[in-house]
Amino acid sequence: MKRKSTRSNNSGQALIIASLVITMLLLSTVYYVFEINKDGLKDEMTFEYAFLATKLSATNAITSALANISNGGEPTVLLTDLNKLASVIRNHYYETKCDLSSIPLNVTPYQDGIRISWNSNGSGITSAYVDFVMNFSELSTQYDSEYSTNITTTLNIEGTSAGSGNVKSVNVTCRMYNEGEPALANSIRLFYQNETEGSWTVVDLSNNLNTIDYGNGTYFMSFNVYAQNSFQISARSQDLRDIFVVANTTCSFV
């Protein structure tokens, strides 16, 4: 009888111990998961920062190259600058290994990532388009990202002329866009061409040039010229990023 009683007591103790062991297992599992999540979050934030920083620098590099090329620089500047940036980034990041590969778009109308369309249809476009592949890696984790960056400056021009005889009163409206959004211009210079293939004459104060800046990327200009009923006008402008663009159109007589 006594033997039976001791066994039942022992059984209760074993249950308590078993529950303790299970509790410990559960607690250690929860703690492990918590630590793993914390490390993962830290890695994610490091990669997010590296991605944002690299993307921003690459966009600045494209803007710089486009400003250079549109002002007469060599088209190879784009890839040269991006390779220089990739080299500094590769040698710089201590916490992560970062590789940045740049692939300038080579699909018409882009050539080596550059598009310069300064036609006579009233719209001038200066643009760059580059695909990027970014690879960040640490000892245990790796993060890959592919994205494209497009920098485009567009200038639209419309013009009308009125008046009898050779003296024409001309009204011109120019609109500047950066990536499709209205943007301010650093400078706009107007030219007119009386004869096809003739020389371009700058419009200045001697033409009673009057400019109204609407502050939203729209510029209205009026001036007087000695010209035929139909003649070409040209706007040559730089946006605030120093990207140069030219837009030509035929001034219609009204």
Partner 1 sequence: MKFLADNRGQIRVIEAFFASVLLLSSLMLIPSDHRMENSNDETLRNVAQRTLITLDGDGTLSRLIENQSWATLRKCVQSLLPSPATWFNLTILDENMNPLNLVQICSGTSISGNMVAAEYVCASSDISFNVYVVRLQLSSVS
- C-alpha distances in angstroms, 165 versus 159, 168, 226, 227, 229? 18, 8, 9, 9, 9
Interaction with partner 1 in 65-84: which residues (CB under 8 A)?
Answer: 65, 67-68, 71, 73, 77, 81, 84
Q: Find out whether 87 and 98 touch, Cβ atoms under 8 Å.
A: no
Instruction: Name the residue nearer to partner 1 (CB basis): 66 or 251.
Output: 66
Position among 23, 83, 120, 187 found at the interface with partner 1 (CB under 8 A): 23
For the chain, give percent helix, strand, coil, nearest 5: 35, 40, 25
Instruction: Name the residue nearer to partner 1 (CB basis): 48 or 195.
Output: 48
Q: Does 7 bind partner 1 (CB under 8 A)?
A: yes
Q: Does 60 bind partner 1 (CB under 8 A)?
A: yes
CB of residue 152 to partner 1, shortest distance in Å: 15
Position among 33, 36, 40, 49 found at the interface with partner 1 (CB under 8 A): 49
Position among 24, 33, 162, 167 found at the interface with partner 1 (CB under 8 A): 24
SS3 for 187?
Answer: strand
Q: Find out whether 75 and 114 touch, Cβ atoms under 8 Å.
A: yes
Distance CA 90, CA 199 (A): 50
Q: Does 184 bind partner 1 (CB under 8 A)?
A: no
Instruction: Name the residue nearer to partner 1 (CB basis): 41 or 202.
Output: 41
Instruction: Name the residue nearer to partner 1 (CB basis): 45 or 202.
Output: 45
Sign of CA dihedral 46, 52, 53, 58: positive
| Among 126, 132, 54, 59, residue whose Cα is nearest residue 96 | 54
Distance CA 224, CA 199 (A): 18
Q: Does 3 bind partner 1 (CB under 8 A)?
A: yes
Q: What are phi and psi of 201, to 5 degrees?
A: -110, 130
Question: Where along the sequence are the contacts to partner 1 (CB under 8 A)?
Answer: 2-3, 6-7, 9-10, 13-14, 16-17, 20-21, 23-24, 27-28, 31, 42, 45, 49, 52-54, 56-58, 60-61, 63-65, 67-68, 71, 73, 77, 81, 84-85, 88-89, 92-94, 241-242
